[in-house]
A = this chain, B = another copy of it.
Amino acid sequence: MHALKTWLAALLLVSASWANAATPAVADPLPSWRDGPTKAAIVTFVEKATKADGSDFIPVEARIATFDNDGTLWSEQPLYFQGLFIVDQIKAMAPDHPEWASTPPYQYILQGDMKALAASGEKGLMELLAVTHAGMDNDAFTASVQQWIKTSRHPTTGKPYTAMVFQPMLELLAYLRANQFKTYIVSGGGQEFMRAWVEPVYGIPPEQVIGSQGGLKYVVDGGVPSLQKTADIVLVDDHAGKPVGIQRGIGRRPVFAFGNSDGDLEMLQWTTSGKGLRFAGLVHHTDGDREWAYDRASSMGKLDKGLEMATQSHWTVVDMARDWTTIYPATP
């Protein structure tokens, strides 16, 4: 019986290789990336990393790839999308809080002053989130994010937010995973906010999402346990907080990292300062027609020091207008 199985298996393999020989070359794994130095840098990295007998081979367990979220995997204008969620939440809660009408930063939201709100940055948004959701059940928070992400539309494009993810980056995530990289999000955005929706959108499970973290408290009420959000800030996962978040949540230094703003530079520096083959990429928002064009002067996703560091350190900079044939996924 064993011999029959072996023979059949061998025959099946042969027939599979006949089939392959008859079909055209393997499809391009990055069809939304225009041919050129950026795409070539990515493909060269992956081919070197996975060449078993090459000097740059990276063992499977060390293939850790980390991605910023806002501005790297999806858009972030006119405000981090989580900021837009918080705005909607604050507006919904405002009738119970008349004092907010004259209390910053709540008053900025209620008066529609997005510029003043944006100036409070990712940390300011995290604080607003923590304060407004303290005492809330963590599962209930997840449900409220899922409801929002399903029903809300972007103020200028009118698209669902999850339709404003970058098609080329979805292809890059899939390409890395097909080559046995473990893909993580490492973002200044709220960890629980992202975990609520990223798995079906990016193919990244909750345990591979690292973000800014509010406090959690384990409470047992009438025999029923729950995790309640507190107003504490446990980690601001931005700038120097990113390597710290990576160590806490992964415990290995990544070999591949992608960001888009100065808040990502420490993650890219940490990644590329390890031994052996490394890759650091920055998305440069150069496409004012199809997305937004901004860098040094922006309040969201400011890329200033990063452009020099990228040149000095030979990081790969994506010119969105030049390198991407498509920005958003085709509408189904």
**What is the distance, in angstroms, from A218's C-beta to the closest C-beta of chain B?**
4
Q: Do A216 and B195 touch across chains, with their CB atoms under 8 A apart?
A: no
* Stretch touching chain B among A15-23, A67-75, A84-92, A121-129: A15-23
**What is the distance, in angstroms, from A275's C-beta to the closest C-beta of chain B?**
11
Q: Do B12 and A247 touch across chains, with their CB atoms under 8 A apart?
A: no
Whether A240 sits at the interface, judged by CB under 8 Å, is: yes
Q: State the CA gap A18–B1 with chains docked (Å).
A: 8
Q: Do A5 and B1 touch across chains, with their CB atoms under 8 A apart?
A: no
Name the contact of A216 in the complex, choosing from B1, B218, B224, B247 (C-beta under 8 A): B247
Chief secondary structure at chain A's binding surface: helix
Name the contact of A207 in the complex, choosing from B217, B220, B227, B252 (C-beta under 8 A): B252
Among the interface residues A15, A138, A224, A234, which one has the most CB atoms of the partner chain B within 10 A?
Answer: A15
Q: State the CA gap A240–B228 with chains docked (Å).
A: 12
Per-residue interface assignment for chain A, residues 225 to 243, with 1 indicating a CB less than 8 Å from any chain B CB and 0 otherwise: 1010000001000001101
Name the residue on B nearest A195 (C-beta). Answer: B251
Residues of A within 8 A of B (CB-CB), count: 47
A169-219 interface (Cβ within 8 A of B): 182, 191-192, 195, 205-207, 209, 213, 216-218
Q: Do A247 and B227 touch across chains, with their CB atoms under 8 A apart?
A: yes
Say yes or no: A4-B9 contact (C-beta < 8 A), given A206-B252, A207-B250, A270-B225.
no
Whether A293 sits at the interface, judged by CB under 8 Å, is: no
A247-286 interface (Cβ within 8 A of B): 247-252, 266, 269-270, 273
Name the residue on B nearest A11 (C-beta). Answer: B8
Q: State the CA gap A240–B234 with chains docked (Å).
A: 16
Name the contact of A213 in the complex, choosing from B240, B248, B273 (C-beta under 8 A): B248
**What is the distance, in angstroms, from A269's C-beta to the closest C-beta of chain B?**
6
Query: Which residues of B lie under 8 Å from residue A64 when comparing CB positions?
Result: 207
Interface of A with B (CB < 8 Å)? 1-2, 4-5, 8-9, 11-12, 15-16, 18-19, 22, 61, 64, 138, 182, 191-192, 195, 205-207, 209, 213, 216-218, 220, 224-225, 227, 234, 240-241, 243-244, 247-252, 266, 269-270, 273
In addition to A9-B12, A12-B12, A207-B250, 6 A-B residue pairs with Cβ atoms within 8 Å of each other are A8-B8, A8-B12, A138-B247, A207-B252, A225-B269, A225-B273
